[in-house]
Structure 1
Amino acid sequence: MKAAAPRKTRAAPRKTGAPPASKTAPPARTPRPGGQATRQHLLETAGQLFAERGFAEGTTKEIAQRAGTPMASINYHFGSREGLYEAVLIEAHRQIVNLDELLAIAQDADVSAQDKLSMVLARVVGMSATRNAPWGFRVMVREVLSPSAMLPTLVEKAVRPKAAVMRALIGQVLGLPDSHPAVQRAVAFVVLPAIVLMVAPREGPEKLLPALVQDPQGLRDDLLRYVMGGLQAMAHAHRAAQPGRR
């Protein structure tokens, strides 16, 4: 009788040092169909609500109800209610002064610096005199009167780039570098009256200074004369004080 053949044992797999196979990574989230439209709709709805009631009174629940979307859509598109309000503030500032429009005016080689500045001021002052201003105008009025925690972000993302354009433009009007202290002061002298006209309640001027609201064109023209006259005086004084000038 033949002896049984020895059973073959299965060799253990040889270690190669290769790392274990990783699990398949989840696919990156892609925007939902119509997502941009939903985001814009939420932005418009929230902007109108914040214009009516302010940030403290504009709740996430009411924004979602007005927009006809789930509350989760706000977090999906903006991260939080604060993120939504930040986007509203930036859009509000854009409605008042659009950076692209401001740059287009400032870079127009066929227009004098004085006329460029007049065009910018006429737009802002004209908006303050109309009753049909976009919701961004009312949002900015509320934010100026009662600043929120998002104001520093607004300054960095929206105000600072436009302020740089205004400094360069007013520097051209004065004939001084935009880093000159007089240019920085002049920006304040030019912009602050326009801001005051924007935030001042209409009821006061209508009773005390009715010409401010009865004649918007006259208001714009006289403000421009006032601003340009002051800038001319500043230019004369500071140019004369520069080294090498008499």
Structure 2
Amino acid sequence: MSRKKSHTTREKILSAACDVFVEKGFRDATVAEICKRAGANISAVNYYFGSKEALYQETWHHSFAESMKAHPQDGGVSADAPAEERLRGHLKALVERIADESTRDFFISQMEVANPTGLLEEVMRLEFDPLRDKTLAVVRELLGPDATERHVDFCETGIISMCIYPMMMRRVRLRHGATAIGPPVAFVDDLGAFADHVVAFALAGIAALRRQL
């Protein structure tokens, strides 16, 4: 098998696996269906990935890498910029990444949360921990030297949570419309304005907490 054909087959399997895992989750997805959609022999999964479990992990990892390539964590803001601008870059990138319908890692993650396998836990930790460390560093800088790690952790968790749920509900409603299940949340139609609002809200909260320390 030529290197070009091998690469193409592997990519087709990853693409098909992504669709199937998003639609059905790990347990209800079958290697047979993935290979059928990819136009590949059923033995190709073992040849390229070793197992269905390894394919699942690589599918999420591949989807996440594509998502980060499209929406880098810094949001286009220089590492030398003030902490306020760097925080805005982080949150803008996060909002855009979750809202982007072409990124699939969040839907795979949702299916994993709904029906856990434990297969993505380590893969996700290895990717998310370095990203979180960078955001924690920005928050720590904004809070000042008197902040404890507990203060930093709580602030970072609160800020990120403000981004994730509205954007996830936005994706669900775009996909399912009026049939989407969940508590009412304002539909975000201006991602930039929403990111600016979250940053302003977060900076005001951080400033208020810093005055109390």
Interval containing the TM-score (normalised by the shorter chain): 0.7 to 0.9
In structure 1, what is the equivalent of residue 29 of structure 2? 58
Separation in structure 1 between the aligned mates of residue 134 and residue 148 of structure 2, nearest angstrom: 12
Superposition map of 1:54-203 within 5 A: 54-97=25-68, 101-102=72-73, 108-109=79-80, 111-129=81-99, 132-176=101-145, 180-200=149-169, 201-202=172-173, 203=178
Structure label with greater radius of gyration: 1
Kept in 1: contact 2:159–2:198 (CA 8 A)? no
Q: TM-score scaled to structure 2, two decimals?
A: 0.79
Q: Given residue 25 of structure 2, which amino acid in structure 1 is its aligned partner?
A: G
Q: Given residue 116 of structure 1, which amino acid in structure 2 is its aligned partner?
A: R
Once the two structures are overlaid, the 10-residue window that deviates more, 59-68 or 115-124, is 115-124
Kept in 1: contact 2:75–2:92 (CA 8 A)? no
Kept in 2: contact 1:118–1:224 (CA 8 A)? yes
- Label 1:120 to 1:81 Cα distance change in 2 as closer, same or farther (>3 A): same
Q: TM-score scaled to structure 1, two decimals?
A: 0.69
Kept in 2: contact 1:171–1:183 (CA 8 A)? yes
Following superposition, the deviation at residue 123 of structure 1 comes to 2.3
Separation in structure 1 between the aligned mates of residue 211 and residue 111 of structure 2, nearest angstrom: 38
The structure richer in helix per residue is 2
Following superposition, the deviation at residue 67 of structure 1 comes to 0.8
Q: What stretches of structure 1 of length at least 5 have no aligned partner?
A: 1-30, 239-246
Kept in 1: contact 2:74–2:86 (CA 8 A)? no
Kept in 1: contact 2:74–2:93 (CA 8 A)? no
Separation in structure 1 between the aligned mates of residue 145 and residue 59 of structure 2, nearest angstrom: 36
Separation in structure 1 between the aligned mates of residue 16 and residue 88 of structure 2, nearest angstrom: 33
Q: Given residue 137 of structure 1, which amino acid in structure 2 is its aligned partner?
A: F
Q: Structure 2 residue aligned with 1:232, among 203, 207, 210?
A: 207
In structure 2, what is the equivalent of residue 4 of structure 1? none
Q: Secondary structure at the match of 1:56?
A: helix
Q: Secondary structure at the match of 1:55?
A: helix
Q: Given residue 152 of structure 2, which amino acid in structure 1 is its aligned partner?
A: V
Following superposition, the deviation at residue 189 of structure 1 comes to 1.1
Superposition map of 1:29-40 within 5 A: 33-34=3-4, 35-40=6-11
Q: What stretches of structure 2 of length at least 5 have no aligned partner?
A: none
Tell me the percent identity. 22
Q: Secondary structure at the match of 1:148?
A: coil
Higher RCO (C-alpha 8 Å, min separation 6): 2
Q: Given residue 113 of structure 1, which amino acid in structure 2 is its aligned partner?
A: A
In structure 2, what is the equivalent of residue 220 of structure 1? 195
Kept in 2: contact 1:117–1:169 (CA 8 A)? yes
